[in-house]
Amino acid sequence: MKLVQYFTATCVAACLLAPTLVHADDSAYPKRPINLVVPFSAGGPTDAMARVLAQHLGQRLGQQVIVDNRGGAGGSIAAELVARSKADGYTIFFGTTGTMAINPSLYASLRYDPVKDFAPVSLMATTMNVLVVNPQLPVKTLGELVKLAKDRPGELTYGSAGNGSSNHLSGELFRTSAGIQINHIPYKGSAPALVDLLAGRISMMFDTIAQQTQNISAKKVNALAVTGPTRSPLLPNVPTAEEAGLKGFDVTIWYGVLAPKGTPESIVNRLQREIAAVMSTDEMKARMQTDGAQAQTTTPAEFARLINSDIEKWAPVVKNSGATLN
């Protein structure tokens, strides 16, 4: 009888103590450096955003946040790596609209599920594209461009960084929203597309605002509209596509942090709090604005809803574009 009472008391004590031990372990996070896996190569705009976040996040966490660039397959290689990683908070993902919302419709066989394989942590920033045209094109507004495209169906062209890129799908959404026929010319990156735009070999392209501000100021291209829901502080005189007549047109590109599914909620919440603290500083807000972006954070639940809604939004656009990748 005494033996039974002993074991009963021991089990009760263990059960009462267990949650405290788990919580204490999670609250001690992080105990070592964290890998932030970036789905594109070093030197690009995604890498630049990830690095500035990693530096400030590491300072707040008291541990180094190491940027691990794993480019290839439109970010799918990096996403799959994180999805298969241990869910302990030491391998996290710098996700984008492309990796989390567009790739599921673009790739015929994706080896990760953006909803089932990840625990969203927080949005970090949003940005938008700008529609620019060659100055020789006889248009000054988006409405005039739409009219010209309707008057000359199939004659106008738009360049992109390649099939499935955000500037390609911006063009596809423009084509279907405006009810026009324009031809897509894919390039191996935005730089060669811009070369041909400046030379007049293509009519237009959607590109990041940060890449185009100097060309717009120098009048090498004409800016007709930005793709976000509000005007850009860098281009205050350029209307949104909706203001220019395309109702409901919105191409917002976002960046955020995710962890593997199953990561303890306390770790996810700790990361979310620290990211929110980093992005709320005047320094980070100014840095994002310089890059043509806006610092913006969410709760994990809000980020999950954004991912789901964007998956639904981009699926028909990708299908209508006819773009598929293996």
Residue 48's CB is within 10 A of a number of other CB atoms, namely 15
Contacts of 90 (CB under 8 A, 6+ apart): 30, 32, 33, 34, 35
In the prediction, which pLDDT does 20 show?
A: 39
Q: How far apart are CA 153 and CA 223, in angstroms?
A: 22
Tokens for 67, please give them. 């940027």
CATH number for the domain whose boundaries are 128-226: 3.40.190.10
Q: Please report the pLDDT score of residue 237 as a whole number.
A: 96
* CATH 3.40.190.10, the chain: domain bounds: 128-226
What is the pTM for the complete model shown? 0.86
Cα–Cα nearest to 202, from 167, 253, 249:
167
pLDDT in tens, the chain (326 residues): 443 444 344 444 444 444 433 443 566 899 999 999 999 989 888 999 999 999 999 999 999 999 999 999 889 999 999 999 999 999 999 999 999 999 999 998 899 999 999 999 999 999 999 999 999 999 999 999 999 999 999 999 999 988 888 899 999 999 999 999 999 999 988 899 999 999 999 999 999 998 899 999 999 999 999 999 999 999 999 999 999 999 999 999 999 999 999 999 999 999 999 999 999 999 999 999 988 899 999 999 999 999 999 999 999 999 988 888 87
- Please report the pLDDT score of residue 5 as a whole number: 45
Query: Would you state the pLDDT for residue 159?
Result: 97
Predicted pLDDT of residue 45: 85
Residue 65 has phi, psi (to 5 degrees) of: -105, 110
d(CA 218, CA 226): 18
Please give the pLDDT value at position 291.
Answer: 87
Residue range(s) in the chain whose domain bears CATH number 3.40.190.150: 32-126+253-321
CATH architecture of 32-126+253-321: 3-Layer(aba) Sandwich (3.40)
Contact 65, 58 (CB under 8 A): yes
What are the tokens at 58?
A: 């590491």
Confidence at residue 69, expressed as pLDDT on a 0 to 100 scale = 96
**Around Cβ 37, how many Cβ atoms within 10 Å?**
23
CA distance readout (Å), 322 to 25, 43, 204, 211, 314: 49, 30, 20, 27, 13
154: its two tokens: 């199939």
